[in-house]
Structure 1
């Protein structure tokens, strides 16, 4: 049985249930269309610092922020299109604006569809007309994000999107990450590394960029005997693993391109006028 509820916290919040699997997720459209909670079989899958959710002056630390039209940083927070220089902060604009709720459903799944559309304000940062339509679906305990990126401009639109899920891990000594890759780039030490399957989470900060050979990776939480599996379409060419030693999370992030790609033009998506890109990203958990 599936159910959709709406309630007011500081912001209007939607909670979508899969009662059979004792699972639910929550969405706050006003704060960048973000999924703030995902509970599977009674277990919290995501980390959330609620203070950052409530404070609109801060970027939210937790949940599943949406990264668009860039992932990561731009050099000097700048890029140039058609001879004009623009400023854009890390991870883009989608997480900074209110998304509109298009519809909800509780038939053979619990789902909510959200839309984010360009405006005169966004065009000062990103000079394209666009429409993003995301549908979040909970079915049999699995969370799926179906995405549509639509170019509403009269010129080609360049972008590269991604997600920044914060997975709740109480003790990173009891966690391991499985990524189908034998190398990665250490964004802290600025060097390429051989990846032997082990990540040292005792470091103050971990920031690794992988180019995996498959479209699946996972986190094993040994303390809870739980595995969380991420699946993503081939358009997500990279996986970033980011963690801070003193925080109870590990971020495992599917990205379409590497940082600063709006300047390097590496792996960027180029949509013709009227065209759209569709993609799917899903998260499911199981007991090991």
Structure 2
């Protein structure tokens, strides 16, 4: 049985239930269409710092922020298109703007569809007309994000998108991460390394970039005997693992391209006028 509810916290929030599996997720359209909670079988899957959710002057830390039209940083927060220089902060603009609710649905699943459309304000940062249509679906305890990126400009649109899930891990020393990859780059120490599945929780910051060989990775939270599995289409060529020493989270992030690709042009996606890109990303959990 599935159900959708809407309530007012500081922001309007939608909660979608899978009652059979004692699972639900929450979405806040006003804060970048972010999924703030995902509970599977009564267990919190995501980390959320509520102070950063409520304070719009802060970058939201927690949930599943949407990264568009870039993942990661740009050198000096700048890039150039058609001879004009633009400024864009880390991870792009989608997470900074209100998304509109298109519809909710309850049949063989619980779902909500959101839309983010370009404006005169976004064009000062990213000079394209676009529309993003995302549908979040909860079915049999699995959270799926169906994405559609649409170029509504009269010129080719370049972008590379991603997600930034914050997974709640209380004891990171007891966590294992599995990514099918031959290449692991440490973005803090600026070197390649051999990854053994465990992050160094004593480091102030961990930032690893993997070139993914398959469409799946997972983490094991041994304290809760829980396995979290991420599946994604092949357009997501990279997986980033990020964590801070004093916080109870490990981010495992599917990205389409590496940082600064708007400048290097490596792995960027190009949509012709009127074209779209459809892709899927899902998160599931199971008790080991």
The interval holding the TM-score normalised by the smaller chain is: over 0.9
Q: Which residue of 2 aligns with 1:104?
A: 104
Q: Which residue of 2 aligns with 1:169?
A: 169
| Partner residue, 1:194 | 194
What is the Cα-based RMSD across aligned positions, in Å?
Answer: 0.6
In structure 2, how many angstroms separate the alpha carbons of the residues matched to 1:227 and 1:285? 6
Partner of 2:259, secondary structure, is coil
In the other structure, the counterpart of 2:229 is 229
- Superposed displacement of residue 204, structure 1: 1.3
Secondary structure (helix, strand or coil) at the match of 1:53 reads: helix
TM-score (norm 1): 0.99
Partner of residue 25, structure 2: 25
**Unaligned runs of at least 5 residues, structure 1:** none
2:182 touches 2:211 (CA, 8 Å); kept in 1? no
Task: State the alpha-carbon separation in 2 of the partners of residues 268 and 193 from structure 1.
Answer: 25
Structure 1 ranges of 4+ moved more than 3 A: none
- Mapped contact 2:173–2:198 kept (Cα < 8 A): no
8 Å Cα contact 1:208-1:240 kept in structure 2: yes
SS of equivalent residue, structure 1 residue 154: coil
Q: Determine the structure 2 residue equivalent to 1:66.
A: 66
Normalization by structure 2: what TM-score? 0.99
| Partner Cα distance (2:252, 2:202) in 1 | 17
Aligned length: 288
Cα offset for 1:202?
2.1
Correspondence for 2:266: 266
Q: Which moved more, 1:182-191 or 1:48-57?
A: 182-191
Q: In the alignment, what sits opposite 2:11?
A: 11
Q: How far off is 1:209 after superposition?
A: 0.2
Determine the structure 1 residue equivalent to 2:77.
77
Q: Secondary structure, in 3 states, of the residue corresponding to 1:259?
A: coil
Residues 171-180 or 115-124, more deviating: 171-180
Give CA deviations for 1:211-243 in whole Å, capped at 9, x if unaligned. Answer: 011110001000000000000000000000000
Aligned to 1:130: 130
Secondary structure class of the residue paired with 1:194:
coil
Alpha-carbon distance in structure 2 between the residues aligned to 1:100 and 1:79: 28
1:222 & 1:269 partners in 2: Cα distance? 37
Partner SS, residue 201 of structure 2: coil
Is it true that 1:42 corresponds to 2:34 in the alignment?
no
| Separation in 2, partners of 1:197, 1:145 | 26
**Mapped partners of 1:177, 1:196: distance in 2:** 8
Deviation at 1:195, TM superposition (A): 2.5
The answer to whether the Cα contact below 8 Å between 1:182 and 1:195 also exists between their aligned partners in 2 is no
Task: Name the structure 2 match of 1:210.
Answer: 210
The corresponding residue for 1:93 is 93
SS in 1 for 2:30: coil
